[in-house]
A and B are shown apart, each in its own frame.
Chain A
């Protein structure tokens, strides 16, 4: 999501599931949608029936590839080389949508002289800290502070010229020798997808964990963003860049701050240097153009103060900084991600642990290390529908239960269909679900468990005190009805209330009523909202997420605006102001998203209601034309100065790869990666002991670590065992028979697996030499099936992470394989 936020302003799928049907060309890369998002094929099929081309790029020929018109293989971890070649192809052949690129992207921006790229490094690199000073990557500004531009795109330091120069090195020959993709396959993918640069053609990209789980994950996605901006594919129907989430509510849980560094609605977690609320708000409220706009981060204080009011209710007032000092502060410069947690646990500094709906003993990279880390805990609470390898880690393989002191508590949660609430899908649609059957036995909805836990904590802090009781004691905790958790109360608080009567545009919004939209949130404590993005989802008109109207919008592109609700403001397609020309006329009339009828916007809800650029009385002024309103400069970013590892994506080899040198430059791996160095963090690059590239993936028949699906006999019948897929060539080299059991070994661990010898994997020719690749699914764990022999693929993976997101590189690492 970091790449999407950097490129366009919002970290979310830009379009939505149904919209895929509008596409002319669908590139599925870093995703195996047919197997992991099977229902997506309903819409992909509709597009194909209308003549769309489906492209599948994957190291292995998958069930997605079986349906594709074009398939191209690539070695895991070389997506940037593959896509860098496409950027070069688009520019060399002038296939970009020129008007779009000039009007809506930062192509014309002049970059400061201090920007440079040489020997695999951007300017500003400090080799001692492995960090860039990205102030070297800024834009030249004029005396009013506005960015200087050259709309002829000829200035040698304009973004477009720099982009062209950067990717001039990515020739078909070099790309093919890095990726192992045959040249003709590269060309057929480039040609098919670049054809969507025509203004009346739409191309979409679907990606998932195959792009994110790399030490260059964010930059993989940035490549896709750059391509879509060049081709004018952002904001249009059938276009966009669509992050397919790995679980039905990942978007919802991310929106509501699943990750350590964000508060609900992508507000920042305060640092210990953010010593006051004012200080904090000032730091995260951008200055620059668009200061008076009703949308965007300019309104940061309205969102943050409304959030504090939601947390602390009447206890939050201007006098006490609305409770800002009760929020936990992160140490400056420190990260608290998944790998950090288990690093700390491994060192022994974390003593207690809630594993809530998670199975880190199988889902966590370097699972041996994760399991050993748990031995250092005093206590663990495992909240799940079944016991799993995490709750039972102390009796797992290689563990001596008598030597593990950890006390494990199990809280039985009911399953999703036994509770009421909302989920937010990949396309940002929040949809209300009613309860089906009642929870079994003494299992409970998560909401009830949290409610009871919070109540107990409050009691304990009230009776016994504690180091810092205020945050817990002052927490507003009234989300129950008749003693039970009430999801409607939570949903309403997420939307937000007025805390004072408000007269606006001649209408009274009484105290205690629900706020109709995020534009009405205030920074004086007169409103509360648990998540400004969801303000408008549950109003005085009712629960918008529960709407089921099946009428389409007047443009008939499958928006269904009255079905469920989506953030922001029920806008189904993000950045749609880029789908029209300066006069507000759609680039493509047959599947228009919005249009300016001279007085109003019609169709979908555009990003801001202000008139089109060319309409009367609107002098050309960036403030009036933000297609990408949530970025600082209001333009889509081809040049993205805000990431830690460079403004343009550059190909680096995976932390564990088959090569000792990078064929594109002097720098082998992402220079900003700090390598894991613990005793259980062995790495093996270009090491003859581990000669084969390996990747991990999922199959349709199982879900995540299989805690649900391994207990369902009908699914176990379909996919009973851990397997490793290998090519016929590698099988004959190692004398491995189809269906035989083998051992897959990395520098960190090993798993047993059944060999599937298949034509769907083929050796790659990399830099003139044969490189073999294999792949394993990660759905298994020792606890079930009962043989204990079907284990997690994460015993193989490492703690090498993307420096922007700290996501481990589970999609490219090195292994060996042997018969047993």
Chain B
């Protein structure tokens, strides 16, 4: 059954246990960072950083807000990256869980930058050798009946994971409660992705790439349509 995350940013305390746990589970090296005038570190996702808690200070309606956004791959239901790669040995969707997986051979696919560019949420990052990497939903853990590392360590209740149906229901119920206090609260693209964020304010207040780049999923659909019609014609001619 398809899996999904529900990330309730209204509960996140930016403890960043998830960010560290992700590195620990995947054995990813630490980056050499400096303090650039913010707690957020590293600055950005990278080939070695699949999860990054973004932090933004702002005033909203006269109140101080410090907004936290644990960014990671959304595991799109129709992933533009997958379509863009067009090579299931490099990028594929795991049928059991819906995890979108970058394999060790992403480097061989031409147009790595196009793949990055196709992502509505600016997630994939490349190495010097043009390999791509990102969150893999901890697929190896899932296959061993463990929750993703970032979910296990989250004590505030912000990170949740489960069957898509259950998670979607949980997210919608929680949204109704949060909206009592924050009328602008919303779920970000719940029908497009498996990593569903609940935000109290406009997504752009959290991060530039919190919600999908305009038109990005249309592109996927166009490409999907192209593929389908290719298949259709192929069938028509051979059949």
Contacts of A723 in B (CB 8 A): 35
Question: In the complex, are the beta carbons of B66 and A38 less than 8 A apart?
Answer: no
The residue in B13, B19, B155, B156 that gathers the most chain A C-beta atoms within 10 A of its C-beta is B13
**Binary contact readout A420-459 vs B (1 if CB under 8 angstroms, 0 otherwise):** 0000000000000000000000000000000000000000
Question: In the complex, are the beta carbons of A718 and B68 less than 8 A apart?
Answer: no
Interface residue stretch chosen among B24-32, B136-144, B228-236: B24-32
Residues 702-727 (chain A) with a chain B CB within 8 angstroms: 713-721, 723
Measured CA separation A720–B19 after assembly (Å): 15
Contacting B38 at CB < 8 Å: which of A38, A42, A71, A756?
A: A756
Residues 115-165 (chain B) with a chain A CB within 8 angstroms: 155-157
Question: In the complex, are the beta carbons of A720 and B41 less than 8 A apart?
Answer: yes
Question: In the complex, are the beta carbons of A38 and B35 less than 8 A apart?
Answer: no
The interface residues of chain A, by DSSP majority, are classed as mixed
**Binary contact readout A38-57 vs B (1 if CB under 8 angstroms, 0 otherwise):** 11011001100100000000
Contacts across chains A and B counted by CB atoms under 8 Å: 105
**Known contacts A39-B155, A66-B66; is A738 also within 8 Å of B20 by CB?**
no
**Known contacts A700-B15, A718-B20; is A759 also within 8 Å of B37 by CB?**
no
**Known contacts A63-B14, A754-B37; is A717 also within 8 Å of B31 by CB?**
yes
Measured CA separation A38–B66 after assembly (Å): 17
- CB-nearest residue of chain A to B57: A759
Contacts of A701 in B (CB 8 A): 16
* B93 contacts A by Cβ under 8 Å: no
Interface size on B, residues (CB 8 A): 34
**Known contacts A65-B66, A66-B13; is A45 also within 8 Å of B42 by CB?**
no
Contacting A63 at CB < 8 Å: which of B13, B38, B42?
A: B13
Contacts of A757 in B (CB 8 A): 37
Residues 609-668 (chain A) with a chain B CB within 8 angstroms: none
The residue in B30, B37, B41, B65 that gathers the most chain A C-beta atoms within 10 A of its C-beta is B37
* B64 contacts A by Cβ under 8 Å: yes
Question: In the complex, are the beta carbons of A38 and B64 less than 8 A apart?
Answer: no
* B1 contacts A by Cβ under 8 Å: no
* A804 contacts B by Cβ under 8 Å: no
Question: In the complex, are the beta carbons of A721 and B19 less than 8 A apart?
Answer: no
Contacts of B20 in A (CB 8 A): 714-715, 718
* A98 contacts B by Cβ under 8 Å: no
- CB-nearest residue of chain A to B21: A714
Question: In the complex, are the beta carbons of A714 and B157 less than 8 A apart?
Answer: no
* B59 contacts A by Cβ under 8 Å: yes
Cβ of A702 to closest chain B Cβ, rounded Å: 12
* A253 contacts B by Cβ under 8 Å: no
* B33 contacts A by Cβ under 8 Å: yes
* A755 contacts B by Cβ under 8 Å: yes
Contacts of A66 in B (CB 8 A): 13-14, 65-68
Question: In the complex, are the beta carbons of A755 and B17 less than 8 A apart?
Answer: no
* B214 contacts A by Cβ under 8 Å: no
Question: In the complex, are the beta carbons of B24 and A714 less than 8 A apart?
Answer: yes
Cβ of B20 to closest chain A Cβ, rounded Å: 5
- CB-nearest residue of chain A to B15: A38
Cβ of B151 to closest chain A Cβ, rounded Å: 14
Cβ of B82 to closest chain A Cβ, rounded Å: 30
* A554 contacts B by Cβ under 8 Å: no
Contacting A61 at CB < 8 Å: which of B15, B39, B64?
A: B64
Measured CA separation A66–B34 after assembly (Å): 24
* B221 contacts A by Cβ under 8 Å: no
Question: In the complex, are the beta carbons of A38 and B17 less than 8 A apart?
Answer: yes
Question: In the complex, are the beta carbons of B64 and A760 less than 8 A apart?
Answer: yes
Measured CA separation A760–B55 after assembly (Å): 13
Contacts of A378 in B (CB 8 A): none
Question: In the complex, are the beta carbons of A42 and B156 less than 8 A apart?
Answer: yes
Measured CA separation A64–B155 after assembly (Å): 14
Cβ of A374 to closest chain B Cβ, rounded Å: 30
Question: In the complex, are the beta carbons of B35 and A721 less than 8 A apart?
Answer: yes
Measured CA separation A34–B42 after assembly (Å): 21
* B105 contacts A by Cβ under 8 Å: no
* A588 contacts B by Cβ under 8 Å: no
Measured CA separation A65–B57 after assembly (Å): 12
Contacting A739 at CB < 8 Å: which of B30, B36, B64?
A: B36
Measured CA separation A95–B13 after assembly (Å): 33
Measured CA separation A94–B44 after assembly (Å): 54
Cβ of B139 to closest chain A Cβ, rounded Å: 22
Contacts of A34 in B (CB 8 A): 13, 15
Question: In the complex, are the beta carbons of A721 and B30 less than 8 A apart?
Answer: no
**Known contacts A38-B156, A715-B20, A760-B57; is A45 also within 8 Å of B37 by CB?**
no
Question: In the complex, are the beta carbons of B13 and A714 less than 8 A apart?
Answer: no
* A758 contacts B by Cβ under 8 Å: yes
Residues 35-73 (chain B) with a chain A CB within 8 angstroms: 35-39, 41-42, 57, 59, 64-68
* B11 contacts A by Cβ under 8 Å: yes
Cβ of A77 to closest chain B Cβ, rounded Å: 22
Question: In the complex, are the beta carbons of B37 and A717 less than 8 A apart?
Answer: no
Question: In the complex, are the beta carbons of B41 and A738 less than 8 A apart?
Answer: no
The residue in B11, B17, B35, B177 that gathers the most chain A C-beta atoms within 10 A of its C-beta is B35
Question: In the complex, are the beta carbons of A38 and B155 less than 8 A apart?
Answer: yes
**Binary contact readout A726-769 vs B (1 if CB under 8 angstroms, 0 otherwise):** 00000000000111100000000000001111111000000000
Measured CA separation A701–B53 after assembly (Å): 13
Measured CA separation A146–B62 after assembly (Å): 57
Contacts of A715 in B (CB 8 A): 20
Question: In the complex, are the beta carbons of A754 and B34 less than 8 A apart?
Answer: yes
Contacts of A476 in B (CB 8 A): none
Question: In the complex, are the beta carbons of B35 and A739 less than 8 A apart?
Answer: yes
Residues 757-806 (chain A) with a chain B CB within 8 angstroms: 757-760
Cβ of B160 to closest chain A Cβ, rounded Å: 12
Cβ of B56 to closest chain A Cβ, rounded Å: 11
Contacts of A756 in B (CB 8 A): 35, 37-39
Question: In the complex, are the beta carbons of B57 and A758 less than 8 A apart?
Answer: yes
Contacts of B155 in A (CB 8 A): 38-39, 41-42
* A155 contacts B by Cβ under 8 Å: no
- CB-nearest residue of chain B to A67: B13
Measured CA separation A714–B167 after assembly (Å): 30
Cβ of B111 to closest chain A Cβ, rounded Å: 31
Measured CA separation A41–B15 after assembly (Å): 10
Question: In the complex, are the beta carbons of A759 and B59 less than 8 A apart?
Answer: yes
Question: In the complex, are the beta carbons of A717 and B35 less than 8 A apart?
Answer: no
Contacts of A45 in B (CB 8 A): 11, 156-157
Contacts of B23 in A (CB 8 A): 714
Question: In the complex, are the beta carbons of B156 and A738 less than 8 A apart?
Answer: no
Question: In the complex, are the beta carbons of B34 and A720 less than 8 A apart?
Answer: yes
Question: In the complex, are the beta carbons of A718 and B16 less than 8 A apart?
Answer: yes
Cβ of B169 to closest chain A Cβ, rounded Å: 16
Cβ of B44 to closest chain A Cβ, rounded Å: 13
Measured CA separation A738–B40 after assembly (Å): 13
* A35 contacts B by Cβ under 8 Å: yes
Contacting A713 at CB < 8 Å: which of B16, B30, B37, B66?
A: B30
Question: In the complex, are the beta carbons of A35 and B66 less than 8 A apart?
Answer: no
Measured CA separation A721–B32 after assembly (Å): 11
Contacting A714 at CB < 8 Å: which of B11, B14, B30, B66?
A: B30
Residues 57-97 (chain B) with a chain A CB within 8 angstroms: 57, 59, 64-68
- CB-nearest residue of chain B to A62: B66
Cβ of A620 to closest chain B Cβ, rounded Å: 47
Question: In the complex, are the beta carbons of A41 and B14 less than 8 A apart?
Answer: no
Measured CA separation A78–B121 after assembly (Å): 46
Cβ of A736 to closest chain B Cβ, rounded Å: 10
Measured CA separation A760–B59 after assembly (Å): 10
The residue in A67, A716, A738 that gathers the most chain B C-beta atoms within 10 A of its C-beta is A67
In the A-B complex, list the 5 residue pairs whose CB atoms are closest, starting with the nearest: A739-B37, A713-B30, A738-B37, A717-B30, A34-B13
Q: List 10 A-B contacts (CB under 8 A).
A: A34-B15, A49-B157, A61-B64, A66-B65, A701-B16, A720-B35, A738-B37, A740-B37, A759-B57, A760-B66
- If A63-B66, A67-B13, A717-B31 are given as contacts, then 20 extra A-B residue pairs at C-beta distance below 8 Å, sorted by A number, are A38-B13, A38-B17, A41-B11, A41-B155, A42-B157, A66-B66, A66-B67, A67-B11, A713-B30, A717-B33, A717-B42, A718-B16, A718-B20, A718-B33, A719-B35, A720-B35, A738-B36, A738-B37, A738-B38, A739-B38
